[in-house]
Amino acid sequence: IMSQLFLGGKASSGKLNSWVEPSFGDLFGSSGLNSLPLAKAPLSGGNKSRAQPSGVDVGGKKPRKRKGALQAAKPVFPPRRQDSQEPQDEPWVQVYAPQLQAELAVHKKKVEEVEKWLRVHLDLNHGGAVLLLTGPSGCGKTATVHVLARDLGCQIQEWSNPVTTSEYRTDDSFRQTFDPDSRFNSFHWTSQTGAFQEFLLRANKYDRLPMRGDGQAQDRKLILVEDFPNQFYRQPGCLHDTLRRFARTGRRPLVFVVSDSLSGDSSSRLLFPKEVQEELGIRTISSPSHGASWYATLSASCEMTRCCRAVVVVFSDPEKAVLEQLCAGSSGDIRSAINSLQFSSFAEHSLEKGAWASKKGKSAASAARVPARPKGGNRSTRSAEVLDDSPAIGGKDTSLFLFRALGKILYCKREAYEGCEVPKLPSHLSVHQRDRMIVDPEVITHKQTCRSHMSGEFFSLYLHQNYPDFFSDMDDVARASEYLSDADFLTAEWSSRPTMSEYGSSVATRGLIYSNSARAQATSQSHVGFKPLHKPHWLHINKTYRENYLAAQSLFISFCLTPVSLMTELVPYLAQLSNPMRNQAQIAFIQDVGHLSLRRFPGRLKLEALGDKEPGGLDLDGESDDAGTQTTGQGTRTLPSSSQEPGADFPSSQPQPTTADALLDEEDILIEEYDSD
Amino acid sequence: MSLWVDKYRPTSLAKLDYHKDQANQLRNLVQCGDFPHLLVYGPSGAGKKTRIMCVLRELYGAGVEKLRIEHQSVTAPSKKKIEINTIASNYHLEVNPGDAGNSDRVVIQELIKTVAQSQQIQSSTQREFKVVLLTEVDRLTKDAQHALRRTMEKYMATCRLVLCCNSTSKVIAPIRSRCLAVRVPLPSVEEVCSVLTGVCRKEGLLLPPELAKQIAEKSGRNLRRALLMCEACRVQQYPFSADQDIPETDWEVYLRETANAIVSQQSPQRLMEVRTRLYELLTHCIPPEIIIKGLVTELLGNCDGHLKAEVAQMAAYYEHRLQLGSKAIYHLEAFVAKFMAIYKKFMEDGLDNFMF
């Protein structure tokens, strides 16, 4: 019941039916032609918009975008139609939301794909089809659905989580006063999950009541779910059951919109695991981000200028540099970019330049530099810059992808000291002379631990997996490995680990950088070329070790041996004896563990490439395993992830040179899939 | 068909093959009635466990040989459930507290309490105490060892402890002083040979003395290993020949190949290959300490005098790290890398000297 009906179609202001308009346009009490007889008298604007559960929300003629950052701050004003005088009261995100497909900032092919799907499944009786749209926040998932729905002339019925339970209570008490004899309404409460199921049921079964002035009959409807009841995050099984039921009985297409996040806790993976997707035939379309933060500027600023052309006309044209900086700061999130644009011009739009004055020098400089640089060449310095001066307004944390963080440490770029300031070491120490580092290792590890929730030890594991490729001299490797050993030693004690882990990763990173004497001078930094990075094996190995260990002990307990002699003496010799074992499990174990293939280089370990966009998910599994011997040293975090499993989860487990290429690749694959359906 | 090791394990003190004086002393100890806590230590494969089982049999008769495997679960104060396997007869309980990891303190206390609280039935005809046999005491945490100290005294009336470990250096002094320490040394080569010959005779096989000697030497006087080797020889070839190859375990061969790989080339790429091999060994449950020890033994063979000292020192350093650190591979690899660096330098210097 707490759904918001959107008028999808051509609900231009002229066609607005009479009962809608008063509820938004007029003052509250004046002509309360409310269709709901039960609705109580509204107290204030803010309450009102919430307390009208099934009101038709036509915020102007735009579909309302929820989650708009600014919007949340200003529900106090009753929404006004935009063609009335003051457009700045309304978030620009809504005011200038895309109306046509051409205006969508999403890649054209993606839009086509969604449109195709909708066309096929919008016909009635086609069965409950489910579409899952994923992508980073603010890339235009919801906007796509809205625009397409409008084009296809269907309504959107949207689920939103009920805000509080108090709503129900007031509602109930209200009903009680109306109907005191009713015994059923004494106290009515449903769980969010229940409410969600009911919503699906109703949205599925019943058409909207035909309204006066509604234009053509709208028998086409799609159900949109962006919010999930919290319960589903705890028990995704509930959702799956609901979905299964829906798949059997559904008549309407159901669209889920799920945002990805950079830090790896992708809710889409939690809510819609692969098996369920296959089982229910859920179609997944993921829109890629508008380029990651470091070279988003150009494309995103195009999007932005297009989106905001009206704005730009109305107000003084914001400088290009400002726009660029906003785009860079938003890391491809259009919504936040527009919001910050509005905010920046909102404060004092005549003094806009003043507000940017402090930033101007820097931003102008960077703007001047941007076009001059080839995209690939000096990315690292540039991104370091972007990372350092985060935009003043609306800047998002530009989180460093693991791939790049590792690269920074392993390639360890240096720059020569300028002329006089060279601090010279005496000649007998000159082997230790190093040029200045461009990056600060602590900054990188800090970014990793704080933003990507990756522990320092785990980061060191990644470094350890990959460092030998970057070294050429054996002495250097020995020194580097010693530093890594030191780092592990520092963080070994679980009780002091929280304090020491920073030092540990500092020792590991700085040690690695220092040891690489081939890259000690800026001038001598030979071109290493691209080296693929790999995921660490250790966690997997350690897990296998422990599993085998336990298995051995439980299988061969009757031999009463200590584990060491069991593993080094009994099992290997049993493998050589043709001793009939007691059970199948023992035989299998001996075959597996007792024998070592004596081929020179075993092929058991597959190197797993680390993708350039991977968040380097927190490997809780492995980590906690690892901490198993250390009692409860860690394990408070509960982010699910599975980077240990072969890259199946990550659509981009291969290094991807540029986003543009990635986009094309991915599209090709997806379209093939579609044809085969 | 069981293994020779188990099939011909002596079951009473009288039947023990070597250290007969000690066996006599143990028998006297049992017969004099008052039985102290025991701390049995000695290298692996010397027959500690066999000896302990013989003592138990002396104490309780054949009843101790009816063993059953029990899965017990102990709840720690932190509500964590710990599953542990125990082997028990009516008279004794055998636990390897190392299985419980860091919660070994709780496990030990709980198990001993359970055993000690139930009195022996028919104590007139039987001993009035039960025995708890703890293996691998040297792997107990300090915490657990201190807890053990108190528990030992508290339940002295109904329960005796037999502790079994490889070395007493990791057992805290208060425990050592509460126990009668019994050291079981390795059998000499001759003793191993006689045991092997005896077993083969019982199997109806003829073991050439040369081969027996070879096996005994190769096994490092570890009797269990010697018997397993002997049985593997039997599978490989019978009748035995005096100069036949004694089968080694796969992991030993693999480890030797790894050491050869380290010696033959020193480069970061080779280090990666060695790492893969180390991982392979680890997945086959070869403990990191054994790996490093094996590597050192193999590598030392390839070194010159003064290099040997350096390598041994390095190995000790990283073995120490290994014990204290949390992720073995760092330390194993650091050792390998360091060796590679030293060895490379050594070879290059040697080459220079040779040239001039």
Contact partners, residue B21, CB within 8 Å, separation at least 6: none
Task: Give mean pLDDT, residues B11-35.
Answer: 88
Q: Where does the pLDDT of residue A7 fall: very low under 50, low under 70, confident under 90, or very high at 90 and above?
A: very low
- Cβ–Cβ < 8 Å for A15, A211: no
Q: Is the model more confident about A660 or about A232?
A: A232
User: Which of A153-162, A339-348, B3-12 bottoms out in mean pLDDT, i.e. has the lowest?
Assistant: A339-348
User: How many structural domains comprise chain B?
Assistant: 3
Give the span between the Cα atoms of A530 and B318, in whole angstroms. 33
The whole-angstrom distance between A611's CA and the closest CA on chain B is: 21
The confidence score (pLDDT) of residue A662 equals: 36
Q: Do A595 and B341 touch (CB under 8 A)?
A: no
| pLDDT tens per residue across span A592-609 | 777 776 554 444 456 666
Is the CB of residue A461 less than 8 Å away from at least one CB of chain B?
yes
Domain boundary among A235, A263, A286: A286
Residue B261: is its pLDDT beyond 80?
Answer: yes
Q: Does residue A370 sit within a domain?
A: yes
Q: Where does the pLDDT of residue A675 fall: very low under 50, low under 70, confident under 90, or very high at 90 and above?
A: very low
CB–CB contacts below 8 A, A to B: 198
Residue A658: is its pLDDT beyond 50?
Answer: no
User: Which of A473-482, A592-601, B222-231 bottoms out in mean pLDDT, i.e. has the lowest?
Assistant: A592-601
DSSP result, A315-356: SPPPPHHHHHHHHHHHTT-HHHHHHHHHHHHHH-SSSHHHHH
Task: Give mean pLDDT, residues B307-335.
Answer: 91
Cis peptide before A536 (omega within 30 of 0): no
- The count of other CB atoms within 10 Å of the CB of residue A343 is 17
Q: Are residues B63 and B195 in the same domain?
A: no
The confidence score (pLDDT) of residue A496 equals: 84
Q: Are residues B296 and B162 in the same domain?
A: no
Domain limits for position A574: 541-659
Q: Where does the pLDDT of residue B197 fall: very low under 50, low under 70, confident under 90, or very high at 90 and above?
A: very high
* B285 vs A559, A593, A631: nearest CB: A593
Helix (H, G, I), strand (E, B) or coil at A153: coil
Percent of chain A surpassing pLDDT 70 = 47
Q: Where does the pLDDT of residue B120 fall: very low under 50, low under 70, confident under 90, or very high at 90 and above?
A: low
Nearest chain A residue to B330 by CA distance is A485
**What size, in residues, is chain A?**
677
Give the span between the Cα atoms of B330 and B275, in whole angstroms. 10
Domain boundary among B145, B163, B183: B183
- Cβ–Cβ < 8 Å for B6, B224: no
Q: Does residue B243 sit within a domain?
A: no
| pLDDT tens per residue across span B170-194 | 899 999 999 999 999 999 999 999 9
* Single-letter amino acid code for the residue at A466: N
Q: Does residue B244 sit within a domain?
A: no
Give the span between the Cα atoms of B17 and A146, in whole angstroms. 88
- Cβ–Cβ < 8 Å for A618, A264: yes
User: Which of A46-50, B18-22, B76-80, B302-306 bottoms out in mean pLDDT, i.e. has the lowest?
Assistant: A46-50
Q: Do A564 and B251 touch (CB under 8 A)?
A: no
Contact partners, residue A417, CB within 8 Å, separation at least 6: A423, A435, A436
Residue B297: is its pLDDT beyond 80?
Answer: yes
The confidence score (pLDDT) of residue A268 equals: 64
* A545 vs B251, B283, B290: nearest CB: B283
Q: Do B337 and A478 touch (CB under 8 A)?
A: yes
The confidence score (pLDDT) of residue A146 equals: 84
Provide the token pair at A134: 């994923």
Q: Are residues A162 and A270 in the same domain?
A: yes
Q: Does residue A298 sit within a domain?
A: yes
Q: Is the model more confident about A82 or about B313?
A: B313
Q: Are residues A116 and A52 in the same domain?
A: yes
- Which residues of chain A make contact with B253, given a CB cutoff of 8 A? 596, 598
Residue B222: is its pLDDT beyond 70?
Answer: yes
B213 phi, psi to nearest 5 deg: -65, -45
Domain boundary among B183, B208, B228: B183
The confidence score (pLDDT) of residue B274 equals: 92
- Cβ–Cβ < 8 Å for A565, B44: yes
DSSP conformation class of A399: P
Q: Do A544 and B283 touch (CB under 8 A)?
A: yes
The whole-angstrom distance between A295's CA and the closest CA on chain B is: 34
Distances in Å between the alpha carbon of A576 and those of A81, A337, A591, B225?
Answer: 84, 68, 10, 13
Task: Give mean pLDDT, residues A533-541.
Answer: 85
User: Which of A37-46, A429-438, A463-472, A511-520 bottoms out in mean pLDDT, i.e. has the lowest?
Assistant: A37-46
Q: Does residue B242 sit within a domain?
A: no
Residue A166: is its pLDDT beyond 50?
Answer: no
A543 phi, psi to nearest 5 deg: -65, -45
Task: Give mean pLDDT, residues A428-441.
Answer: 80
Q: Are residues B104 and B51 in the same domain?
A: yes
Residue B277: is its pLDDT beyond 80?
Answer: yes
The confidence score (pLDDT) of residue A637 equals: 34
Q: Are residues B307 and B195 in the same domain?
A: no
Q: Are residues B136 and B68 in the same domain?
A: yes
Q: Are residues B122 and B48 in the same domain?
A: yes
The confidence score (pLDDT) of residue B185 equals: 93
* A478 vs B87, B251, B340: nearest CB: B340
> Do strands A155-159 and A3-6 pair parallel, antiparallel, or not at all (unpaired)?
antiparallel
Task: Give mean pLDDT, residues A176-205.
Answer: 64
Q: Are residues A191 and A243 in the same domain?
A: yes
- Which residues of chain B make contact with A631, given a CB cutoff of 8 A? 101-103
Q: Are residues A186 and A262 in the same domain?
A: yes
- Which residues of chain A make contact with B341, given a CB cutoff of 8 A? 474-475, 477-478
Residue A1: is its pLDDT beyond 50?
Answer: no
Percent of chain A surpassing pLDDT 90 = 2
Give the span between the Cα atoms of B303 and B300, in whole angstroms. 5
Q: Are residues B76 and B16 in the same domain?
A: yes
CATH code, domain carrying B314: 1.20.272.10
Q: Does residue B95 sit within a domain?
A: yes
Q: Does residue B55 sit within a domain?
A: yes
Residue A340: is its pLDDT beyond 80?
Answer: no
How would you class A268 by CB atoms within 10 Å of its CB: exposed for 0-12, middle for 13-18, buried for 19 or more?
buried
Q: Does residue B100 sit within a domain?
A: yes
Q: How far is CA A124 from the centre of its chain?
A: 33
DSSP result, A573-616: HHHHS-PPPSSHHHHHHIIIII----SSS-------BPPTT---
- Put residue A64 in one of left, alpha, beta given phi > 0 → left and psi -120 to 50 → alpha: beta
Provide the token pair at B129: 């105490």
Domain limits for position B204: 189-236
User: Which of A117-121, A141-145, A291-295, A500-504 bottoms out in mean pLDDT, i.e. has the lowest?
Assistant: A291-295
Q: How far is CA A273 from the centre of its chain?
A: 16
Q: Does residue A580 sit within a domain?
A: yes
| pLDDT tens per residue across span A54-66 | 333 333 333 344 3
Q: Are residues B67 and B16 in the same domain?
A: yes
> Do strands B130-135 and B92-95 pair parallel, antiparallel, or not at all (unpaired)?
parallel
Task: Give mean pLDDT, residues B115-121.
Answer: 74
Give the span between the Cα atoms of A621 and A637, in whole angstroms. 11
Q: Where does the pLDDT of residue B246 fall: very low under 50, low under 70, confident under 90, or very high at 90 and above?
A: confident
- Which residues of chain B make contact with A595, given a CB cutoff of 8 A? 250
Q: Are residues A152 and A21 in the same domain?
A: yes
Is the CB of residue B87 less than 8 Å away from at least one CB of chain A?
yes
Task: Give mean pLDDT, residues A269-280.
Answer: 72
- Cβ–Cβ < 8 Å for A659, A288: yes
Residue A581: is its pLDDT beyond 50?
Answer: yes
Q: Where does the pLDDT of residue A266 fall: very low under 50, low under 70, confident under 90, or very high at 90 and above?
A: low
DSSP conformation class of B99: G
* Single-letter amino acid code for the residue at A501: S
Residue B145: is its pLDDT beyond 50?
Answer: yes
Torsion of CA A509, A616, B327, A561, to 10 degrees: -170
Q: Are residues B74 and B220 in the same domain?
A: no
Residue A97: is its pLDDT beyond 60?
Answer: yes
The confidence score (pLDDT) of residue B41 equals: 94
Residue B235: is its pLDDT beyond 80?
Answer: yes
Q: Does residue A664 sit within a domain?
A: no
Q: Does residue A219 sit within a domain?
A: yes
The whole-angstrom distance between A413's CA and the closest CA on chain B is: 21
Domain boundary among B183, B202, B217: B183
Q: Are residues B164 and B22 in the same domain?
A: yes
Residue A563: is its pLDDT beyond 60?
Answer: yes
Q: Does residue A45 sit within a domain?
A: yes
Is the CB of residue A198 less than 8 Å away from at least one CB of chain B?
no
Task: Give mean pLDDT, residues A25-46.
Answer: 39
What's the ipTM?
Answer: 0.84
Q: Are residues A306 and A281 in the same domain?
A: no
CATH code, domain carrying B77: 3.40.50.300
Give the span between the Cα atoms of B30 and B39, in whole angstroms. 15
| pLDDT tens per residue across span B32-55 | 877 889 999 999 889 999 999 999
Q: Are residues B202 and B124 in the same domain?
A: no
The confidence score (pLDDT) of residue A321 equals: 64
The confidence score (pLDDT) of residue B295 equals: 93
Q: Are residues A277 and A333 in the same domain?
A: no
Select from A544, A577, A634 the least CA-distant residue to B284: A544
Q: Are residues A280 and A310 in the same domain?
A: no
Best mutation target among B66, B286, B326, B339 (most A Cβ atoms within 10 Å) is: B326
- Cβ–Cβ < 8 Å for A115, A147: no
- Cβ–Cβ < 8 Å for A9, A152: no
Q: Are residues A36 and A137 in the same domain?
A: yes
Q: Are residues A43 and A175 in the same domain?
A: yes
Select from A532, A537, A540 the least CA-distant residue to A612: A532
Task: Give mean pLDDT, residues B81-109.
Answer: 84
Task: Give mean pLDDT, residues B162-174.
Answer: 90
Q: Does residue B320 sit within a domain?
A: yes
User: How many structural domains comprise chain A?
Assistant: 3
User: Which of A264-268, A568-572, B193-197, B331-335 bottoms out in mean pLDDT, i.e. has the lowest?
Assistant: A264-268
Select from A63, A238, A247, A35 the least CA-distant residue to A158: A63
Contact partners, residue B164, CB within 8 Å, separation at least 6: B40, B41, B48, B49, B52, B133, B134, B135, B136, B137
Residue B352: is its pLDDT beyond 80?
Answer: yes
> Do strands A414-415 and A436-437 pair parallel, antiparallel, or not at all (unpaired)?
antiparallel
Task: Give mean pLDDT, residues A450-459.
Answer: 75
Q: Where does the pLDDT of residue A326 fall: very low under 50, low under 70, confident under 90, or very high at 90 and above?
A: low
The confidence score (pLDDT) of residue A332 equals: 62
Task: Give mean pLDDT, residues B315-326.
Answer: 90
Task: Write out residues 242-281 of B within 8 Å (CB-CB) of A.
Answer: 247, 249-254, 257, 266-269, 271-273, 275-277, 279-281
Is the CB of residue A471 less than 8 Å away from at least one CB of chain B?
yes
Best mutation target among A464, A465, A470, A474 (most B Cβ atoms within 10 Å) is: A474
Q: Are residues B163 and B299 in the same domain?
A: no
Distances in Å between the alpha carbon of A236 and those of A72, A231, A600, B1, B290?
Answer: 28, 8, 46, 51, 45
A262-276, A518-532, A582-596, B155-169: which has the highest mean pLDDT? B155-169
Provide the token pair at B188: 């000499």
Q: Are residues A231 and A341 in the same domain?
A: no
Give the span between the Cα atoms of A51 and A229, in whole angstroms. 19
Q: How far is CA B133 from the centre of its chain?
A: 15
Residue A265: is its pLDDT beyond 60?
Answer: no
- Which residues of chain A make contact with B222, given a CB cutoff of 8 A? 569
Q: Are residues A282 and A324 in the same domain?
A: no
A51 phi, psi to nearest 5 deg: -75, -5
Distance in Å from the first CA to the final CA of chain B: 66
Q: Does residue B102 sit within a domain?
A: yes
| pLDDT tens per residue across span A509-532 | 999 888 888 777 777 666 667 778
Q: Where does the pLDDT of residue A376 fall: very low under 50, low under 70, confident under 90, or very high at 90 and above?
A: very low
* B235 vs A482, A577, A593: nearest CB: A577
Select from B66, B60, B65, B71 the least CA-distant residue to B30: B60
Contacts 24+ apart (CB under 8 A), A237-240: A238/A193, A239/A271, A240/A276
Give the span between the Cα atoms of A114 and A133, in whole angstroms. 9
Contact partners, residue A101, CB within 8 Å, separation at least 6: A111, A115, A147, A148, A151
The confidence score (pLDDT) of residue A46 equals: 39
Q: What is the mean pLDDT of chain A?
A: 62
Give the span between the Cα atoms of B256 and A55, in whole angstroms. 78
* B285 vs A457, A538, A548: nearest CB: A548
Residue A571: is its pLDDT beyond 70?
Answer: yes
Q: Where does the pLDDT of residue A649 fall: very low under 50, low under 70, confident under 90, or very high at 90 and above?
A: very low
Task: Give mean pLDDT, residues A572-582.
Answer: 72
- Cβ–Cβ < 8 Å for A356, A329: no
Select from A614, A610, A632 the least CA-distant residue to A623: A632
